[in-house]
Amino acid sequence: MPSDRPKVLVTRRQFKDQVERLRAAADTVVLDRPAPATPDELRQAVRGCTAIFAHITDAITGEVMDAAGPQLRVVAEFGVGYDNVDAEAASQRNIAVGNTPGVLTETVADFAFAVIQASARRLAEADRFVRRGDWKWFDPLDLLGQDIDGSTLGIVGYGRIGSAVATRALVSGMNVIYYSRSQPEDGFGCTRVRTLDELLKRSDFVTLHCPLTPQTRGLIGREQLKKMKSTAVLVNTARGPIVDMEALTEALRDGTIAYAGLDVTDPEPIPANHPLLKMDNVTLLPHLASATVGTRHKMSEMTVDNILAVLEGRLPPNCVNAARLNWGR
C-alpha cells in the first residue's frame, strides 16, 4: 500500500544518525553503492520524491526534477558549491535549492594551504622518490623546492575560503595579492589587483577559490598559463573545469610553469590513462578539501536541516534561490 509520507532520496551513503533524522520524517531511500547513479538510474530513483539529498557527482537537471514529479520541493546539496544543480531550472519549477555555506571554510582553507606548502616542497614527488628506492645517498641539489616565506601568493576568488587562505599565507610570511570581481577594496593586509593577468604575472603561487560558473569555466587556459612565471605553482582546490586540463598538461610538460597541486580535475575521477598521472611535477588528490569527520558530519547535518525545513513547510535555512521562489510569501 502506498505511503502517505513524503519520500526523500539520498544519492550516496551518509552518516547514519543523519539518515535516521530523515527516516523519522519521511520514507528515505539511500543509494548506498560504490559508484554514483547513472543519469537513467537517477531519474528512476527520484520518482515520487519530495526532496533530494544531492552530491557533487549528481547532475540534477530539469529533466531529473521533472522525473521526480510535481511534489519535488527541494534539492539539498551536500556542499557549498552547487554547480551540479540547475538552479535556474529549479527556480522555474518553484523548487528550493539548499547548500552548506560557512561550515567548511576553515577546513578547506587549511587543506588548500597544505597543498600550497606540499607543492612548494615537492612532497608527493619526494614520497614517490623514496618508495621507488631512489634515495641511495644525499644529494644537496636534489628535489629542491621553493621558499614560502617572502614569496607572492595570488588568490583568485576572495570569498570566505580565499580570504581564510590569505590569513594563513600572511602568517607564513607570504605577500598576498588577490583578484576578485565582487569583493571590496579592503583585503585585510592583502593587495587587490585589477586584472587576472596582473595576478598571474606577479605570483609565485596561484591558488583558485572561485565558484564554477559559465564565466569561470576554462578561466585558466593556455594564454593564462603563459603569463605565469616559469617557476610558478598553480593550486586548484575549487572545481576542476576552472582549469583547462589539456592546457595545464602541456604547460607542466613544457616547463611553462613549474608545478601544480590539484585536488579537483576535469573530469572526476581523472582517467587512469591521463598523462598527468605519469608526471612528477604535479600533486593529484581525490577531492579531499572538506574531508574531515567533523566538517563532513556538519555538512550532512546542514543538508538534512535544509530538507526537514521544507518538509515542515518552510524555506531551507540555506537557500540559494529564495528570491526566485513563490511559496506563498
Query: One of 12, 55, 239, 296 is an active-site residue; which one?
Result: 239
Instruction: Examine the residue annotation and report whether 287 is marked as an active-site residue of this protein.
Output: yes
Query: One of 23, 43, 160, 287 is an active-site residue; which one?
Result: 287
Give the integer Cα–Cα distance in Å for 201 and 266: 25
Nearest to 190 by CA among 18, 180, 124, 137: 180
Instruction: Examine the residue annotation and report whether 297 is marked as an active-site residue of this protein.
Output: no
Torsion angle of alpha carbons 122, 127, 130, 131, nearest 10°? -150
Q: How many CB atoms lie within 10 A of CB 249?
A: 16
For the chain, state the CA radius of gyration.
Answer: 22
Signed CA dihedral, 175, 257, 286, 263: sign only: positive
Query: One of 41, 106, 268, 301 is an active-site residue; which one?
Result: 268
Give the integer Cα–Cα distance in Å for 219 and 244: 8
Q: Cell for 200?
A: 598571474
Looking from the CA of 119 toward its CB, the CA atoms found within 13 Å total 30
Instruction: Using DSSP, state whether 197 is helix, strand or coil.
Output: helix
Give the integer Cα–Cα distance in Å for 87 and 138: 56
CB neighbour list of residue 2: distance below 8 Å, 6 or more residues apart: none
Instruction: Examine the residue annotation and report whether 55 is marked as an active-site residue of this protein.
Output: no
Q: Cell for 127?
A: 614520497
Active-site positions? Answer: 239, 268, 287
